[in-house]
Chains A and B, each alone.
Chain A
């Protein structure tokens, strides 16, 4: 695209896509902002006019707001830690030559293809059910009192379910990164006297830095808006109400669109703060 003519032609041809994408993004966004300033109760009179900042102040001053924010951050943070740590270990394992590696690799990726609703239902009914679940059976096998997972260890259970689904994603990206590591570097380190742990710490982990950054950034974007896993399992009870879930309750259970929209705007702000924060810590890895 060197000449003036080709540049303007390119602009013209890209215009439809750009306009479509902008519309796609801007229309819902501006509608959310618009509703957040209205008193809008669909079942109790519909649009009742201008509300000013009232929705915003009510959403924040509600006793469920800060717990929802902290729940969101705890769940997202824990899932990130679990998937990255286990992902690195699994990737290391899958990089080793062993019999049946091809099949094992496909099996490892499988959870990612299971729909969130389905995986949550399977976990809830097949594994975590306190009377019929496999885990309860296992507990009883060792003579322990079965755990009512979703009420007694609710956050941990949710983290487990979500991490199970996202672990394959992390593993896959980290595995390709490990495979791109030059074997001679590891051999050089071996000759230089680095043991297995030192090779991991000094060579493999720095090499994975960029891939880990990407895993964290992409997962954060998706994890901030997780919904199905909570809806299906605890329904937001037992301290598992995230910001997304709170907004859902405001709009659909309380039928207050204005309040929910204000929550939506807060969620956008939270997402941006988290993204900025992440970029600061890990974004450096993306330059170099």
Chain B
């Protein structure tokens, strides 16, 4: 069980209100990702849920019970920190066993659970090492191990992969997703990397400046961003946002079109420009096009084999069904 409800929660540090009044319900078993630019309040929100910070106003309910005034240990949540926060003077075994020892569990039960967690996380051989003798990925797994032995109502992750290199990050991403499938426990995951958000989440919460911009499944956010900020934030490369007469013709202040929803041609199309830098990824090529009014540079995703050079003239045709229209306040126009 692990349903978490926030009701009109706010948080201020001194004069500055970093979390605006906010309502959110995280369903039991759901993998929710908080995503947003740096400083938008993701960590603060997570720490409020964890109980490491006190809310300034509002209520937090865990499984329907008011947990606003409970100390962190009593909320039944486990957290994995960005710096791992392993205890450096304890062996991996003792690190993982720590929460169980604090709960005064029996020796046999502690050993059983630690072995089980070590099995799940491939930590068997490392149980007697100190954290200092492990690689970043292994440390991360120990931190996760320390969280899962408690069998918490929900897991909280604060940018757990940001200290790992790119290849390891992809691997750990899969491992965490698999863990979620296996345990079926509620997970809240904070990241500023929208690729992590898209690949892992059941539901994404996009935050900006302490305000929830949109909540939805990854595909919903991709296909129907409710405002210009979400449109620009979700999706890689970023959506092209066109202003000026081109947008006015569609009855909008800003017109959005994703780089993958454009057809490229050498001879015909409504928008004409010249090729600038092209990024060859092998499978795809990202072309930066200059000279299209209202948006410069304009990004287009083409196939890997596209044969265009710097300075070539090209024509673009948007997929009209996938144009996004936004009004003067940046809200989506249906």
Chain A interfacial positions (CB closer than 8 Å to B)? 182, 184-185, 187-194, 198, 202-203, 206-207, 209, 288
User: Shortest Cβ distance from A232 into chain B, in angstroms?
Assistant: 43
Q: Is the interface of B mostly helix, strand, loop or mixed?
A: loop
> Which residues of B lie under 8 Å from residue A194 when comparing CB positions?
73, 98, 102
Interchain CB contact under 8 A, A193 and B103 = yes
Chain A residue nearest in CB terms to B74 = A193
Q: Is B81 part of the contact surface with A, judged by Cβ < 8 Å?
A: yes
Instruction: Give 27 pairs: A residue, B residue, CB < 8 Å, sorted on A.
Output: A182-B83, A182-B85, A184-B81, A184-B82, A184-B83, A184-B85, A185-B85, A185-B87, A188-B79, A188-B87, A188-B146, A189-B87, A190-B52, A190-B72, A191-B51, A191-B77, A191-B78, A191-B79, A192-B98, A193-B73, A193-B103, A194-B73, A194-B98, A194-B102, A202-B98, A203-B87, A288-B89
Beyond A190-B52, A192-B99, A193-B99, list 10 extra A-B contacts (CB 8 Å).
Answer: A184-B82, A184-B85, A185-B87, A187-B85, A189-B87, A189-B98, A190-B72, A191-B79, A192-B102, A193-B102
Q: Is the interface of A mostly helix, strand, loop or mixed?
A: helix
In the A-B complex, the 10 residue pairs with the smallest Cβ-Cβ separation, listed nearest first, are: A192-B99, A193-B73, A188-B85, A184-B85, A193-B102, A206-B89, A184-B81, A191-B72, A185-B85, A194-B102
> Which residues of B lie under 8 Å from residue A198 when comparing CB positions?
102
Give the residue of B51, B78, B82, B87 whose beta carbon is less than 8 angstroms from that of A202.
B87
> Which residues of A lie under 8 Å from residue B51 when comparing CB positions?
191
Chain B residue nearest in CB terms to A285 = B89
Chain A residue nearest in CB terms to B132 = A288
Task: Give the docked Cα–Cα distance between A193 and B79 (Å).
Answer: 12
A185-B87, A209-B89 are known contacts. Are A191 and B73 too (CB-CB below 8 A)?
Answer: yes
Task: Give the docked Cα–Cα distance between A209 and B89 (Å).
Answer: 10
User: Shortest Cβ distance from A207 into chain B, in angstroms?
Assistant: 7
Interchain CB contact under 8 A, B85 and A190 = no
- Residues of B in contact (CB 8 Å), total 23
Task: Give the docked Cα–Cα distance between A190 and B52 (Å).
Answer: 8
Task: Give the docked Cα–Cα distance between A183 and B79 (Å).
Answer: 14
> Which residues of B lie under 8 Å from residue A209 when comparing CB positions?
89
> Which residues of A lie under 8 Å from residue B86 when comparing CB positions?
185
Q: Is B226 part of the contact surface with A, judged by Cβ < 8 Å?
A: no
> Which residues of A lie under 8 Å from residue B252 when comparing CB positions?
none
Chain B residue nearest in CB terms to A183 = B85
Interchain CB contact under 8 A, A192 and B89 = no
Q: Is B50 part of the contact surface with A, judged by Cβ < 8 Å?
A: yes
Task: Give the docked Cα–Cα distance between A150 and B207 (Å).
Answer: 69
User: Shortest Cβ distance from B90 into chain A, in angstroms?
Assistant: 8
Chain A residue nearest in CB terms to B47 = A187
Interface centre among B71, B78, B89, B146, by most chain A C-beta atoms within 10 angstroms, is B89
> Which residues of B lie under 8 Å from residue A184 when comparing CB positions?
81-83, 85
Give the residue of B50, B83, B88, B103 whose beta carbon is less than 8 angstroms from that of A191.
B50
Interchain CB contact under 8 A, B89 and A190 = no
User: Shortest Cβ distance from B38 into chain A, in angstroms?
Assistant: 18
Task: Give the docked Cα–Cα distance between A288 and B88 (Å).
Answer: 10
User: Shortest Cβ distance from B154 into chain A, in angstroms?
Assistant: 12
Interchain CB contact under 8 A, A187 and B98 = no
Interchain CB contact under 8 A, A190 and B98 = no
Task: Give the docked Cα–Cα distance between A187 and B73 (Å).
Answer: 10
CB contact list, B91-117 vs A, under 8 A: 98-99, 102-103
User: Shortest Cβ distance from A202 into chain B, in angstroms?
Assistant: 7
> Which residues of A lie under 8 Å from residue B52 when comparing CB positions?
187, 190-191
User: Shortest Cβ distance from B134 into chain A, in angstroms?
Assistant: 15
> Which residues of B lie under 8 Å from residue A288 when comparing CB positions?
89
User: Shortest Cβ distance from A198 into chain B, in angstroms?
Assistant: 6
Task: Give the docked Cα–Cα distance between A206 and B88 (Å).
Answer: 9
Contact string against A for B residues 212-224, beta-carbon threshold 8 Å, 1 for contact and 0 otherwise: 0000000000000
Chain A residue nearest in CB terms to B82 = A184
Task: Give the docked Cα–Cα distance between A184 and B79 (Å).
Answer: 11
Chain B residue nearest in CB terms to A184 = B85
User: Shortest Cβ distance from B145 into chain A, in angstroms?
Assistant: 12
Chain B residue nearest in CB terms to A188 = B85
User: Shortest Cβ distance from B256 into chain A, in angstroms?
Assistant: 39
> Which residues of A lie under 8 Å from residue B77 when comparing CB positions?
191
Task: Give the docked Cα–Cα distance between A192 and B90 (Å).
Answer: 15
> Which residues of B lie under 8 Å from residue A203 when comparing CB positions?
87
Task: Give the docked Cα–Cα distance between A10 and B211 (Å).
Answer: 63
> Which residues of A lie under 8 Å from residue B82 when comparing CB positions?
184
Interface centre among B50, B78, B79, by most chain A C-beta atoms within 10 angstroms, is B79
Task: Give the docked Cα–Cα distance between A88 and B1 (Å).
Answer: 42
> Which residues of A lie under 8 Å from residue B88 when comparing CB positions?
207
Interchain CB contact under 8 A, B73 and A207 = no
> Which residues of A lie under 8 Å from residue B146 when comparing CB positions?
188, 192
Interchain CB contact under 8 A, A207 and B89 = yes
Task: Give the docked Cα–Cα distance between A191 and B99 (Å).
Answer: 8
User: Shortest Cβ distance from B97 into chain A, in angstroms?
Assistant: 10
User: Shortest Cβ distance from A28 into chain B, in angstroms?
Assistant: 42
Contact string against A for B residues 33-52, beta-carbon threshold 8 Å, 1 for contact and 0 otherwise: 00000000000000000111
> Which residues of B lie under 8 Å from residue A182 when comparing CB positions?
83, 85
> Which residues of B lie under 8 Å from residue A192 when comparing CB positions?
73, 98-99, 102, 146, 150
> Which residues of A lie under 8 Å from residue B85 when comparing CB positions?
182, 184-185, 187-188
User: Shortest Cβ distance from A125 into chain B, in angstroms?
Assistant: 47
Task: Give the docked Cα–Cα distance between A58 and B139 (Å).
Answer: 63
Task: Give the docked Cα–Cα distance between A209 and B50 (Å).
Answer: 30
User: Shortest Cβ distance from B49 into chain A, in angstroms?
Assistant: 11
> Which residues of A lie under 8 Å from residue B102 when comparing CB positions?
192-194, 198
User: Shortest Cβ distance from B106 into chain A, in angstroms?
Assistant: 16
Contact string against A for B residues 136-148, beta-carbon threshold 8 Å, 1 for contact and 0 otherwise: 0000000000100
